[in-house]
Each structure stands twice: as C-alpha cells, then as structure tokens.
Amino acid sequence: MALSKKPVTGMKDILPKEMEIRDYVISVIKDTYGKFGFTSIETPCMENIANLTNKQGGDNEKLIFKVLKRGEKLNVEAATTEEEVVDNGLRYDLTVPLVRFYSNNAAQLPVPFKALQMGNVWRADRPQRGRYRQFMQCDIDILGEASNLAEIELILATTTTITKLGFKNFQIRINDRRILKAMAAYAGFAESDYDNVFITLDKMDKIGVDGVMAELQEKGYGDPAQCEKYLNLFEEIMKSDDGISLLMDRLGDFLDGDMMTSFREIVDSVKATKADSFELVFDPTLVRGMSYYTGTIFEIAMPEFGGSCGGGGRYDKMVGKFTGQDVPACGFSIGFERIVLLLLESGFEIPKAPSKVAFLIEKGVAGEALCEVIQKAQEERAQGRQVLVARMNKNKKFQKEQLQSEGYTEFVEYYKDPLKN
C-alpha cells in the first residue's frame, strides 16, 4: 500500500508549538472583538460554484479548488468541460460567503450586524515560502451601518486586538477611493485610465515619485503636464501637516465636502483615544487592489513585516450584486497567518502559562497503587493545574528533558517499590 505521509501539495501539518500560538491568537481575537460587540458566525467551507465565479473575487477566482459532482449527476465519460463535472468550490475568501450569509439570514440578524469570521480559505496558488494553499482568514465586517461609525469601530477593534497581541509601533494607513478618483480627475486623467493609474500609484513606496512618473509616462496615461500636476499634489501632501485640509482646499469641487468632513472625523475619533501603540496616517497613495471598494480603505503596516499585515474598506455595492438591494458594508481583515509567523519567529511566549506537572509511573505500578496516582492527578486538575500522566520510559533522563522542552517544570515519580517513592 503506497500511502503518502506528506500533506497534499502546498498545505501543511500544524505541530503543537505553532498550534499553541494559533490558539492564543484566536482567543485574543475572539475576546477583544467580542468587547466591541462583534458576534461570531460561520459559513460552510464550500459554496455553489456560481457564487464563487461571479467576478467579485478578482484573480482569486482562477485559484479555486473545485469539487466534483457526486452520484448520478456525475458523468465523466460524457463530459467535455469542467463545468459539467463540478457543482461546488472551496471558498477563496470570507467576504463572498459573508454577503451570501447576510442575504440568506438578514431577517434574523440585528441592524447593524457586526460579524466576526475566523476560518480557513483555499487558493491553488503557486506554493512559496510562508504561503500555503490552505490558510486562516480573520475578518470583521459591519453590515447596515452607512455612517463613519463603522470605519471608526473597525479600526479601533483591530488596533486594540493587534496591540493586545504585543505589537507596537505599527501604522494604520487610511485613504478613500473617492479621494483617489478626485485627485486623478483634478490632474486631468481620462476616467477610463483611473484603475491603471492607481496600479502604478500603488508602487509609490517602492519606486518613489520619480518611478511613478516614469511608469505613468511609459505606459501612456495622461500627458507630462497632467502627470506632473498629479505628482506635485502628492508631494505637497507629504510635506503638509494637514493633508486633508490641503486636499479640500486644492481639489474644490472635485471632492465632496461632506465626505471629507466624515473622513476627517474618522481620523480625529481614532486619534482622540490616544493609543500609543500605533499611528493613524492619511496616505493618499494607498490603493488596495479589490475593485469592490466604494469608499474608505485602510491597511495595517508593521515595521517587523515588510508588507501589509491586514486591511479592508467600505464596499457598499456588493450585497446588491447578490440581492438587488444595496446594503452599506465595511470590513477589516487581519493577516492571521502573518501575525502567527511573526510571533513564532520572534520567540513569543504566551503570557502566564499555568504551571505544568508530569507524573511518571514506573511500569510495575498497577492495581490500587495506579488508582491512587490517577486520583491524585484528577484532584490537581480540578484545582486548575495541567497534569500529564505518563508511563516512565526506559531512558527517564531523556524523557524528562523532552517534557521540560514542552514546558513541564515539575516531575513526580511513582515506583512499584514504595521505598523509591
């Protein structure tokens, strides 16, 4: 029987040490988001294939693990296309399932509805270091809240959680798709070029103003004067203490004044909490890839980690794509796997682990003597202690060393000959 010991390609087994950190992160997340009134929900890992391939998922739709039809519905021999043999797919994110869930259950949910989802998603991506084809996502979303209270709560809940996990000196970068568009309009770009202009703009932190300028001209978006007008505005904001006021002043009618007042209110409300673990920064170069965003967008930047460690934004038009009726929606996803990786690599120790004791029982201890040991272990556990009961190995020294590496600090040995106890 040639059975494979390895996990399937691109996926991994999770060993106790990493699981301990994962479980800890999950408990901090659930506890902290709970304090903000987010309630957990879960959807099946599988969705109807039509729901997953409706263009909301962008490139992720190319990476779906598809599930074969079963029973009489399946006829491989007669089939000529994938569509004929597939009915479901594994979800590639938690947003599409959330929107389906909301459409299905809205009548039983409060308004606004604050959802917390933690669950695995699957993408048949090219395997690479630190990225796997099955990974955990952790999303919070508020549905049915049109005001900026949604953004404020999402940012505070997320930053409070990240701070509780021990991270300091991180940044929340914030922008708005409408600011992006107003700036492009002010510079005079053609509306059909906006999305492409933003793709180039998104590289600002890597290639700088000159690099963006070169790429815009090389790709033929706008004339040199337009590009210069565009990039000058970015440079002005970067030098300014108050980029928001500067933009309101410069952009005039290109920008909705109420929108900017609301945008500033998000920034002010978060800053008013005077948290010292992070900084909230207006970043006009922040783009975020997904096309479904309609307003505010944000991202977590961590010094320990090159790239983004989470992000989100407002997507007011997506529920409507499912139900025909728009519902305001805003979400924030934290990079669970990256956070676990950072904690693992930093040698993070889970705070106040309870003391752990191992009872080692010689092979000959049996009958009544064994009963007594077991009783003793149960009593200690009832008092909240972690007690491992194990048979003594031949190499007791090695066994104890191994247990020490698992955090057992106390050992009690039981021998058949009571004199040895």
Which residues, 34 to 63, sit near its own copies by CB under 8 A? 34-37, 39-48, 50-51, 54
Q: How far is the CB of 333 from its own copies (least distance, A)?
A: 18
Q: Which of 30, 203, 229, 250 binds its own copies (CB under 8 A)?
A: 30
Q: Which of 272, 276, 352, 419 binds its own copies (CB under 8 A)?
A: 272
Q: How far is the CB of 398 from its own copies (least distance, A)?
A: 10
Q: Judged by CB, which is closer to its own copies: 233, or 319?
A: 319
Q: Judged by CB, which is closer to its own copies: 270, or 297?
A: 270
Q: Which of 29, 92, 94, 101 binds its own copies (CB under 8 A)?
A: 101
Q: Judged by CB, which is closer to its own copies: 213, or 350?
A: 350
HSE at residue 270, side-chain half, CA atoms within 13 A, is: 28
Q: Using CB under 8 A, count the residues that bind its own copies.
A: 115
Residues 6+ apart with CB under 8 A from 291: 58, 195
Are the C-beta atoms of residues 74 and 87 closer than 8 Å to each other?
no
The yes or no reply on residue 366 touching its own copies (CB under 8 A) is: yes
The yes or no reply on residue 397 touching its own copies (CB under 8 A) is: no
Q: How far is the CB of 28 from its own copies (least distance, A)?
A: 13
CA distance 236 to 251: 13
Q: Which of 60, 217, 308, 386 binds its own copies (CB under 8 A)?
A: 386
Residues 238/242/248/251 CA torsion (nearest 10 deg) = -20
Residue with tokens 């510079």: 187
HSE at residue 204, side-chain half, CA atoms within 13 A, is: 16
CA distance 318 to 149: 19
Q: How far is the CB of 179 from its own copies (least distance, A)?
A: 20
User: What angle, 0 to 180 degrees and rounded to 10, lies between the N-to-C axes of helices 16-35 and 149-164?
Assistant: 140
Residue 80, Cβ neighbours under 10 Å: how many? 7
How far is residue 304 CA from its own chain's centroid? 17
The yes or no reply on residue 192 touching its own copies (CB under 8 A) is: no
Closest among 323, 269, 288, 251 to 101, alpha carbons compared:
323
The yes or no reply on residue 20 touching its own copies (CB under 8 A) is: yes
Site for its own copies in 400-419 (CB under 8 A): 402-403, 406
Q: Which of 218, 234, 256, 358 binds its own copies (CB under 8 A)?
A: 358
Strands (E), 106-263: 113-122, 134-143, 170-176
| DSSP H or E stretch at residue 307 | strand 305-314
Beta strands 329-334 and 134-143: pairing type? antiparallel
Q: Which of 185, 248, 370, 412 binds its own copies (CB under 8 A)?
A: 370
Are the C-beta atoms of residues 369 and 341 closer than 8 Å to each other?
no
Q: Which of 25, 28, 94, 100 binds its own copies (CB under 8 A)?
A: 100
Q: Which of 235, 249, 372, 410 binds its own copies (CB under 8 A)?
A: 372
Q: Which stretch binds its own copies (CB under 8 A): 8-16, 165-173, 219-227, 411-419?
A: 8-16
Site for its own copies in 66-85 (CB under 8 A): 66-68, 70, 74, 76-77, 79-82, 84-85
The yes or no reply on residue 14 touching its own copies (CB under 8 A) is: yes
Closest among 115, 132, 121, 98 to 36, alpha carbons compared:
115
Q: Judged by CB, which is closer to its own copies: 28, or 183?
A: 28
Alpha helix (H) ranges present in 74-122? 82-85, 95-105
CA distance 387 to 390: 10
Residues 319/102/314/276 CA torsion (nearest 10 deg) = 180
The yes or no reply on residue 349 touching its own copies (CB under 8 A) is: no
Site for its own copies in 118-147 (CB under 8 A): 120, 122, 124, 134, 145, 147
The yes or no reply on residue 387 touching its own copies (CB under 8 A) is: yes
Residue with tokens 């597939």: 86
Q: Which of 220, 306, 351, 384 binds its own copies (CB under 8 A)?
A: 384
Provide the mask over 284-323, with x wherever binding to its own copies is found by CB under 8 A and - wherever it is not: -------------------------------------xxx
Q: Which of 7, 252, 303, 307 binds its own copies (CB under 8 A)?
A: 7
Q: Judged by CB, which is closer to its own copies: 124, or 214?
A: 124
DSSP state of 107: G
Q: CA-CA distances (angstroms) from residue 418 to 362, 369, 373? A: 11, 10, 13
The yes or no reply on residue 245 touching its own copies (CB under 8 A) is: no
